[in-house]
Structure 1
Amino acid sequence: VEYLMYDQGEDRWLSTLLLKTGWILQYCASAEATTQCPESFAELFNQRRRWLTSTIANLNDLLVLNAVGINNGRDIVYNGSIR
């Protein structure tokens, strides 16, 4: 599971670490970002496969291992202790 969390989706793992240490993450509509888009279906498929496995691993870490509650399907609130 650690491989999936650390090596497959580093930005998701960073978000998980921030939540676990008490940070509040919010959406910012004015943010600008750049990325490299997959140029073939095979690249897109591999990217999404990595994203899916890291999402599941990080949600498992937050929801199951650290008592995070979901509030009305809108917010995710971390209720665990700071390690």
Structure 2
Amino acid sequence: MTQTRIVLNPKYKPKAEEILEATGIDNLSQLFTLLLVNYGDCLVNCLKHSHQVPIQSPTQPPTILPPSSPQKKKFAPMGSF
């Protein structure tokens, strides 16, 4: 089994420890694995659909919308001479 290290931002460590204590999960590696396996697909689906209906709130960072496709110019017939 190959191992990969994940770096946890220190500001999120208290929340992770709170989850460990509440759930009885032994360590951060197990917590990450459980979150990835159980909620990974949901996260991807939510992020894919979040650009369709942006919800902005003070607790949610702004979302970056994909660039819109350029509008094709309509054909304008030339005047008669």
Q: Which has the higher strand share?
A: 1
TM (norm. structure 1) is 0.28
TM (norm. structure 2) is 0.28
Higher RCO, 1 vs 2 (CA within 8 Å, ≥6 residues apart): 1
Q: Which has the higher helix share?
A: 1
